[in-house]
Structures are given as structure tokens and as C-alpha cells.
């Protein structure tokens, strides 16, 4: 069986979460036939855009073995600043959204600096941040407590759907570029005399890629079109994944998370790496806040609060990113967000009480963390 899986190149797939998704999909489809319809699946993806974005940022600090509890509050505050700048001060919508990201980066840098230079645990610093930025959100919104957004750019982030033709062309280009990059990489390895994947391996990869991207495009274009928010979410994840797996910064983040002392001895600037990861996490939280505001077409006092933060952490962990540092990927945030989003969406369709929803989500998180912890023991 081991050899078979290896030859099929499927060994590296995150099986537990994929099986989990399959089970969740089957159960809800049996309970309510509307679950697996293009309409509902499109809604599901729009619902997870903000959570998935926050979760991707969370992956970066989890890779360090740290945590950021302020991500939800930061997303709310940054979205509120964008809304207030735009609506009350007449700043251009795109510019205001950019300012929100800059604010996120600044907050993350500040928190990261506090954690690394003053050696206060990230749990405490970001818990303080959770409260403080929540307060700042209320302060910025002022007495009205809510700001409605009508700017075409901001609202368009979540409200734009690519028409079928454009979506299929874009999907084909992405698939072709991916396949070309893979072939080129294999050719480089072959030239360098290194082991290469078998043709069968490559074929399985290609088929999987086409199935996933083609299938998603087919489902989404059957409804309103391919949502721009999904393009932003997946594109952002691809960039973060490339950063983690292919750049020096990403390698250093993994090294610091795996063994900070070893990283320090190897000459890696550990503090700078940590601060950068916290800055990126808060920047992505800000982006998530902008996406959430765009979908709601408003920012209010509850923006970024509620279960957003916990869902973001849960998504990263359920997707397979370890709480113990050094292990995980940006894509885990997408898979985890799909699990969390499907459960929430499915239970909404069944009109279950929020009491049940919270308990089920809690149980799923506990199972995911337990799997992570058991895996950790297994490696010792």
C-alpha cells in the first residue's frame, strides 16, 4: 500500500482533512439537498473569504510556534479605519483600503516588537491587543457605531463575479502556468542529475490540478460567476505559500519555529524573522477585515469580533498547521476554513440553534488539535 501511494504521488496530500471534508459534504447533502448546489457552494466560499484570509496570516505565526489572538480585533479596527477615512473624510476607497493594510502592518510590527524585544509571551501581548484594538474600533466608529459602505471599489471586492468566459480562460492559464512550472522544475532537476518524479506522478498531479481548478470553476460559473473574493483569497494564499516554501524568509520562519536556538546559532536574525511574521499576520488580518466589510457593505461595532478569531485559528489547525511550530502550510488555512465554513453553513441550512453550532465547532477543533498533539508525540 505504501509503495502504491508513493507511486501515485498522493502521499503528500492532507488526507485527514480531505476525508473530513468529504464526510461533512456527504452528511449535509443527505440532510439537505441544497447543500451541494452551485448557489450554496458560492455562498460558502464568500463566507469563508475573511476567515480564510485571517487563517493564512495565523499560519505564519503558528509556524513560529506563537499565536496571535488580536487578529480578529485588528481586522475590525482596520476595516473601521478604512470606512471612516472613506465615508467621513472623503478618501478614495482603494486608497482607504490600502491605508487599512498599512495600519495592520504597523500594528503587527508593534506587537511583534513587543513580543521579541521585551520578551513578553505572544499570548499575553496579543490578548492585550485583542482588548485594546477592540476599544480602538469602538472609538473610531464613534457614537453612531456603524458606517455603511457604498464605494464601488470596496463593495466590488466581495460583490464582483467574473463571467463564465473570463473565468474559464483565467483557470486555463493558471493550470497551464502551473504545469509548465512543474515540467521546468523537473527538467532542471534532471539536468542537475537529481531524482525526478516519474511520468505517472506528473500525470496524477496534472489530473488532480485540472480536476480541482476545473471543478471549482464549473461549479462557481453555474451560479453567479467566479467570485473576485475567491480569486483574492486563493491568489493571496498562493503568494504566502510561495513565500513560506520558496524564499529565505519562509525558510527562516520554519527554522525559528522548529528550533529557535538552532536558528540563532546558524546566524538567522531570529527577532527580525519573528517581527516580520507578526507584521504579515496583522496585515492579512486587515485584508480579511476589508473583505468582510465589503461583503457586509458596512463596518459596525461587532466587526472582527464574535467567533472570527477562533474560527481563523481553528481553520489553520484543522487544515494541518501545528500549534507546536515549524509545520504547516498556507493551504492548510483554506482546507480548514472550508471545514469550519461547511459545518457552519450546513447547520444554518438545517436551521440549527447557535448553541449546537458552537458545540459542534468546538468538538471539531478539539479533534484537530488532538490529532496534532498525538502526531507530535509520535515524532518524539
Partner 1 sequence: MSNTGTPLLELRGAGKRFGAIQALSGVDLVVRSGEVLALVGDNGAGKSTLIKCMAGSHPLDEGLLLVQGEPVHLRAPPDATRLGIETVYQDLALCDALDVVANLFLGRELLVPGAGRPLRMLDEVVMEQKAREVLAELAVTIPDLRAPVASLSGGQRQCIAVARAVMWNSRLVILDEPTAALGVAQAGQVLDLVRRLRARGLAVLIISHNLADVFAVADRIVVLRLGRKVADVDARAVSREDVVAAITGAAERA
List contacts with partner 1 (CB under 8 A). 185, 188-189, 192-194, 242, 246-249, 251-252, 254-255, 257-259, 261-263, 265-268, 325-327, 379
CB of 60 to partner 1, least distance (A): 15
Which DSSP state fits 37?
Answer: S
* C-beta closer to partner 1: residue 195 or 351: 195
Question: Least separation, in Å, of the C-beta of 19 and partner 1?
Answer: 23
- Provide the minimum distance between the beta carbon of 259 and partner 1 in the complex, in angstroms, as a whole number: 5
Closer residue to partner 1 (CB): 37 or 259: 259
Between 266 and 367, CB nearer to partner 1: 266
Task: Name the minimum Å distance from CB 320 to partner 1.
Answer: 13
Measured distance CA(317)–CA(335) in Å, rounded: 10
The nearer residue to partner 1, 72 or 326, going by C-beta atoms, is 326
* Residue 247 DSSP label: S
With respect to partner 1, which residue has the nearer C-beta, 136 or 270?
A: 270
Whether residue 61 contacts residue 276, with contact meaning beta carbons closer than 8 Å, is answered with: no
> How many alpha carbons lie under 13 Å from residue 291 in its C-beta half-sphere?
26
CA distance 318 to 331: 11
End-to-end Cα spacing for the chain? 25
Pairing of strands 146-148, 298-300: antiparallel
In contact, 122 and 61? CB cutoff 8 Å: yes
CB of 246 to partner 1, least distance (A): 5
CB of 192 to partner 1, least distance (A): 5
Secondary structure (H, E, C), 7-32: HCCCCCCCHHHHHHHHHHHHHHHHHC
Return d(Cα 125, Cα 39) in angstroms, integer.
41
Q: Which is closer to partner 1, CB of 24 or CB of 270?
A: 270
Q: Which is nearer to partner 1, 86 or 274 (CB)?
A: 274
Closest by CA position to 63, among listed 264, 345, 276, 229 = 276
Contacts (Cβ under 8 Å, ≥6 apart) of 123: 67, 69
| Shortest distance, position 262 Cβ to partner 1, whole Å | 4
Using the minimum distance from each CB to partner 1, give the nearer residue, 156 or 269: 269
Question: Quick one: angle between helices 330-349 and 308-318, nearest 10?
Answer: 120
Estimate to the nearest angstrom the gap between the alpha carbon of 3 and the chain centroid.
33
Those residues with Cβ within 8 angstroms of residue 282's Cβ, 6 or more apart along the chain or in another chain: 57, 68, 70, 71, 74, 104, 105, 107, 108, 109, 111
DSSP 20-66: HHHHHHHHHHHH-TTTTSHHHHHHHHHHHHHHHHHHHHHHHHHHTT-
Smallest gap from Cβ 243 to partner 1, in A, equals 10
State which residue, 72 or 325, has the beta carbon closest to partner 1. Answer: 325
Question: In the complex, what is the shortest distance from the CB of residue 245 to partner 1, in angstroms, rounded to a whole number?
Answer: 8
Could you tell me if residue 298 is left (phi over 0), alpha (psi between -120 and 50 degrees) or otherwise beta? beta
Amino acid at each position: 500500500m505504501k509503495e502504491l501511494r508513493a507511486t501515485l504521488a498522493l502521499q503528500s496530500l492532507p488526507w485527514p482533512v480531505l476525508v473530513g471534508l468529504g464526510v461533512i459534504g456527504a452528511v449535509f447533502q443527505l440532510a439537505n439537498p441544497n447543500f451541494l448546489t452551485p448557489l450554496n457552494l458560492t455562498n460558502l466560499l464568500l463566507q469563508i473569504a475573511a476567515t480564510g484570509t485571517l487563517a493564512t496570516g495565523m499560519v505564519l505565526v503558528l509556524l513560529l510556534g506563537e499565536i496571535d489572538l488580536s487578529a480578529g480585533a485588528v481586522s475590525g479596527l482596520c476595516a473601521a479605519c478604512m470606512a471612516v477615512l472613506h465615508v467621513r473624510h472623503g478618501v478614495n476607497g482603494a486608497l482607504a483600503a490600502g491605508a487599512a493594510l498599512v495600519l495592520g502592518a504597523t500594528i503587527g510590527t508593534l506587537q511583534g516588537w513587543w513580543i521579541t524585544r521585551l520578551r513578553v509571551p505572544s499570548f499575553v501581548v496579543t490578548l492585550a491587543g485583542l482588548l485594546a484594538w477592540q476599544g480602538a474600533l469602538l472609538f473610531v466608529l464613534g457614537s453612531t457605531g456603524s458606517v455603511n459602505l457604498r464605494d464601488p471599489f470596496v463593495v466590488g471586492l466581495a460583490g464582483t463575479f467574473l463571467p463564465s468566459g473570463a473565468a474559464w480562460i483565467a483557470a486555463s492559464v493558471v493550470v497551464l502556468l502551473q504545469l509548465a512550472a512543474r515540467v521546468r522544475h523537473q527538467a532542471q532537476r534532471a539536468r542537475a542529475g537529481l531524482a525526478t518524479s516519474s511520468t505517472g506522478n506528473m500525470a496524477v498531479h496534472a489530473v488532480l490540478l485540472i480536476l480541482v481548478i476545473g471543478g471549482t470553476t464549473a461549479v462557481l460559473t453555474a451560479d453567479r460567476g467566479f467570485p473576485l473574493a475567491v480569486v483574492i483569497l486563493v491568489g493571496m494564499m498562493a503568494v504566502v505559500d510561495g513565500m513560506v516554501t520558496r524564499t529565505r524568509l519562509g525558510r527562516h520562519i520554519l527554522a525559528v519555529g522548529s528550533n529557535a536556538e538552532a536558528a540563532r546559532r546558524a546566524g538567522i536574525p531570529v527577532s527580525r524573522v519573528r517581527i516580520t511574521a507578526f507584521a504579515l499576520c496583522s496585515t492579512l488580518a486587515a485584508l480579511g477585515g476589508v473583505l468582510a466589510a465589503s461583503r457586509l457593505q458596512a463596518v459596525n461595532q461587532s466587526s472582527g469580533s464574535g467567533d472570527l478569531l477562533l474560527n481563523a485559528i481553528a481553520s489553520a489547525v484543522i487544515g494541518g498547521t501545528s500549534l507546536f511550530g515549524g509545520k504547516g502550510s498556507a493551504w492548510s488555512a483554506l482546507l480548514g476554513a472550508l471545514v469550519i465554513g461547511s459545518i457552519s453553513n450546513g447547520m444554518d441550512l438545517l436551521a440549527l440553534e447557535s448553541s449546537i453550532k458552537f458545540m459542534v465547532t468546538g468538538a471539531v477543533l478539539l479533534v484537530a488539535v488532538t490529532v496534532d498533539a498525538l502526531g507530535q508525540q509520535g515524532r518524539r
